[in-house]
Amino acid sequence: MIDEYKEALDELRFSPEAKRRMVQRIEVAAVVEPLPRPTRRSRALVIAAAAAVLALAVGCTAYASGMLGRASAPAKETPATTEVVDGIGRPDAHASSDGVTVTAEAVMGDRSNYAIVFSIAKDDGTPFEGIRENQDGTLALRFENLATVTVDDAPSRGTVSYFFDADPHDNAIQFVKASTIDTHGGTSFVGKDVYVKLHDLLAFDEDGEARTLVEGAWKMDFVADCADLSVDLPAGQTFAFDEGTATINAIMISP
């Protein structure tokens, strides 16, 4: 059984040339001038570099754990090294209010989950001030309670959202909305309409007291034009479990 996993996960390895290109993308994304207004291309580069790191980490983590060997899969079965990056949707959607623009930068996911990345920036190019960073590196921010990000005909079974600063040298901050969807009946978020309603950006101090950082209302909609980035591994193996046996029905990984 372990040998089958080795072979399947080896298919996710990246060639030295692919790794070199990923590093170059990350280096390019890191070279910015102090506090420029972010461009769509520079933000997309950061997102693409992050996705490349995620994809590379899948293989690196497995090798570092010592669980995988170096058996190579046939070339014809090896997926394209840009498969994850190419599968990210880049919506052309934004909304402005009170001198602040929110832009939907990326949407990605698999058959059960999706994540949407938004950038938030002042139109005058100046940075946000007085934002506290949490211990985990996220920013102590929140949209007002009526804010929603929903996908048409893909009900959520659980959701998480957070803010972070992808590049401290520019004037944008990022907002991520991630959800697990109810897949009963084969529901998928891919190709569905996404509806976004965001209200009043709040900042929190160390005592949990909130203040309004930006008053505004941002509404937009776009299509989740992206790929299902799920990768299925071999299943059907039977193994000893307690005093009986168990069978693996399905194994799936994704970024």
**181 in the same domain as 112:** yes
76 and 62 together in one domain: yes
Answer yes or no: do 166 and 92 share one domain. yes
Which domain covers residue 75, as residue numbers? 1-86
Residue 245 lies in a domain: no
State mean pLDDT over 35-49.
Answer: 50
Range with the lowest mean pLDDT among 34-48, 78-92, 114-128? 34-48
Helices 40-64, 2-10: crossing angle, 10 deg rounding: 150
Residues 134, 38 share a domain: no
Counted domains in the chain: 2
Least confident of 16-30, 66-80, 92-106: 66-80
Is there a single domain that holds both residue 79 and residue 98?
no
Within 13 Å, how many C-alpha atoms sit on residue 245's CB side? 7
Verify that 170 and 46 share a domain, yes or no.
no
Tokens encoding 241: 């479990």
What's the pLDDT tens digit per position in 188-203?
A: 788 889 999 999 999 9
Say if residue 9's pLDDT is above 90. Answer: no
Instruction: Kindly give, in sequence order, each residue whose CB lies less than 8 Å from that of residue 202, ignoring residues fewer than 6 positions away.
Output: 141, 142, 143, 144, 210, 211, 212, 213
Same domain, yes or no, for 82 and 111?
no
CA geometry: angle 160, 180, 7, nearest 5 deg: 115
Q: Determine the average pLDDT of the residues in 243-248.
A: 90
**3-state class (DSSP) for residue 237:** coil
Task: For residue 167, give the nearest of 42, 70, 2 by alpha carbon.
Answer: 42
Residue 253 has pLDDT above 90, yes or no: no
